[in-house]
Amino acid sequence: MFVKELRLINYRNYEALLLDVNPKLNIFVGENAQGKTNVIEAIFLCAIGKSFRTNKDLELINMSKRQSYTKVKVNKAIGDVSIEVRIDTEQKKSIRLNEMSIGKIGELLGNLNIVLFSPEDLKIVKEGPSERRRFIDIDISQIYPRYYYTLNQYNRILKQRNKLLKDSRGKAIDLDIWDQQLVEAGANIIFYRKKFIKRMGILAKLVHRKLTDEKENLEIQYLSGINIKDGDELVNIKEKLMLKLKSSLSNELRRGLTLVGPHRDDIAFKINQLDVKNFGSQGQQRTTVLSLKLAELELIKSEIGEYPVLLLDDVMSELDIKRQSYILTNLKNIQTFITTTMIDHLPLQHIKEKQIFYVSNGEISISD
Ligand SMILES: Nc1ncnc2c1ncn2[C@@H]1O[C@H](COP(=O)(O)OP(=O)(O)OP(=O)(O)O)[C@@H](O)[C@H]1O
Ligand SMILES: [Mg+2]
């Protein structure tokens, strides 16, 4: 799939913008603070329903205005899809899909599939488990919108169960009904994550090998507090989760908190058997994330039959020329948006289908 057209009205530092974008490669060049990332963010907004930089939708509205509007037209195998997002200081955010209002973000997911790689993504390998869970949850939700519903459901049950535990002040309480619901949703999440990580791991290993001249072996593993095995089916995971929950109850009552479940799980990345977080160089950490993102492209393709759109915000200049060339030459069939402050160093000589946009203070021109 690819984005054909992007329209912004009063979005961040853009007052009015209408862009015809290239089905293949789009490069946004400009100095700092001109509005390059804002373009990527707007595309992300249309795909996921919110920004990757803030949870406060109102920040997206141009400071001197009261409403912002973002629209993309997407070319897909099934035909064109239009997505509009309106954010208003006075009203609830409104999202329209092919001119029809939709009630829930879950209905939006999967209409425009994207893979974003921004400097923030280094957190996936460098920081705590919640970053890794966030990454995997966004990815799976895009492919299986049902996962997104289950996740929301799980979080709701978890919140209530935690409140009960906290309010009990250490006294025994009956949590059976909550446990059943928690296990039902939680086991599904673990099952999907485990399956997803396994496939992602195989693809990422292949890409990582190519990116490192066969020198590095990347392994990705889902780490769950309930000791799941490769062959475990959903029922086995449910049983294990329930058992663990029951055996943790006294601890949980004391701490006033749910201590087992997918909200405590993690993902491990290893290169040649060493943990990337603690032992990887900056370059290895960056390449690991790049391998992950490139694997994600293939995974989405195999699930939905089309490549997603790739958004690379400010990451090219941090990669060496070999990795840059790999991206530009191997991803020719994938629509890619790149932002950069310098274009001269990009190995673009052999790339014919491309559009370069010059970004300056919320305006975009196509020649220097
Ligand atoms: N709600 C808003 N209203 C008006 N302007 C905004 C708003 N939010 C952000 N901006 C402006 O947008 C600009 C930043 O845009 P963006 O993050 O896209 O920059 P960039 O070109 O990616 O820069 P860099 O190279 O530093 O990453 C800043 O000038 C900022 O003041
Ligand atoms: Mg930027």
Q: Distance, CA 343 to ligand 1 centroid (Å)? A: 19
Q: Distance, CA 205 to ligand 2 centroid (Å)? A: 29
Do residues 103 and 110 touch, judged by C-beta distance below 8 A?
no
Q: Tell whether 261 and 140 lie within a shared domain.
A: yes
Q: Tell whether 55 and 103 lie within a shared domain.
A: yes
Give the per-residue pLDDT at 170.
80
In the structure, which protein residues have their CB atom closer than 6 angstroms to any atom of ligand 1?
12-13, 30, 32-38, 59, 61-63, 314, 339, 341, 359
Pocket probe mutation, ligand 1, options 6, 8, 13, max atoms within 8 Å of Cβ: 13
CATH number for the domain that contains residue 85: 3.40.50.300
Do residues 309 and 1 touch, judged by C-beta distance below 8 A?
yes
Q: Distance, CA 35 to ligand 1 centroid (Å)? A: 5
Which portions of the chain are predicted below pLDDT 50? none
Which atom, in ligand 1's list, is nearest to the CA of 31?
25
How many other CB atoms sit within 10 Å of the CB of residue 216?
18
* Ligand nearest to the Cα of 29, by number: 1
Domain boundary among 282, 303, 324: 303
Q: Taking Cα atoms as reference points, which of 171, 178, 160, 182 lies closest to residue 250?
A: 171
Q: Tell whether 236 and 296 lie within a shared domain.
A: yes
Do residues 111 and 84 touch, judged by C-beta distance below 8 A?
no
Range of the domain at 220: 120-303
Q: Which residues contact 308 (CB under 8 A, 6 or more apart)?
A: 1, 113, 114, 115, 142, 296, 297, 300, 301, 334
Q: Tell whether 299 and 310 lie within a shared domain.
A: no
State phi, psi for 282 to the nearest 5 degrees.
-55, -45
Give the per-residue pLDDT at 368.
59
Helices (H), 280-367: 282-304, 321-330
Which atom, in ligand 1's list, is nearest to the CA of 63?
3
Please tell me the pTM assigned to this model.
0.93
Residues less than 5 Å from ion ligand 2, measured at CB: 37
Q: Taking Cα atoms as reference points, which of 357, 291, 359 lies closest to residue 327?
A: 291
Give the per-residue pLDDT at 172.
85
Q: Distance, CA 338 to ligand 2 centroid (Å)? A: 10
* Ligand nearest to the Cα of 15, by number: 1
Q: Which residues contact 365 (CB under 8 A, 6 or more apart)?
A: 357, 358
CATH number for the domain that contains residue 295: 1.20.1050.90
Give the per-residue pLDDT at 313.
97
Q: Taking Cα atoms as reference points, which of 322, 152, 129 lies closest to residue 224?
A: 129
Q: Tell whether 264 and 337 lie within a shared domain.
A: no
Q: Tell whether 325 and 230 lie within a shared domain.
A: no
Q: Tell whether 285 and 336 lie within a shared domain.
A: no
Q: Tell whether 130 and 277 lie within a shared domain.
A: yes
94-97 β-sheet, strand order: 14-20, 2-11, 67-76, 79-88, 94-97, 100-102
Q: Distance, CA 169 to ligand 2 centroid (Å)? A: 47
Give the per-residue pLDDT at 169.
85
Domain boundary among 257, 277, 303: 303
- Total count of domains within the chain: 2
Q: Tell whether 206 and 274 lie within a shared domain.
A: yes
Domain boundary among 268, 303, 338: 303
Q: Tell whether 78 and 196 lie within a shared domain.
A: no
pLDDT tens, position by position, 108-129: 999 999 999 999 999 999 999 9
Which atom, in ligand 1's list, is nearest to the CA of 59?
1
Q: Tell whether 324 and 209 lie within a shared domain.
A: no
Give the per-residue pLDDT at 136.
94
Q: Taking Cα atoms as reference points, which of 135, 143, 90, 93 lies closest to residue 113?
A: 143
Give the per-residue pLDDT at 325.
92
Q: Tell whether 57 and 182 lie within a shared domain.
A: no
Q: Distance, CA 53 to ligand 1 centroid (Å)? A: 11
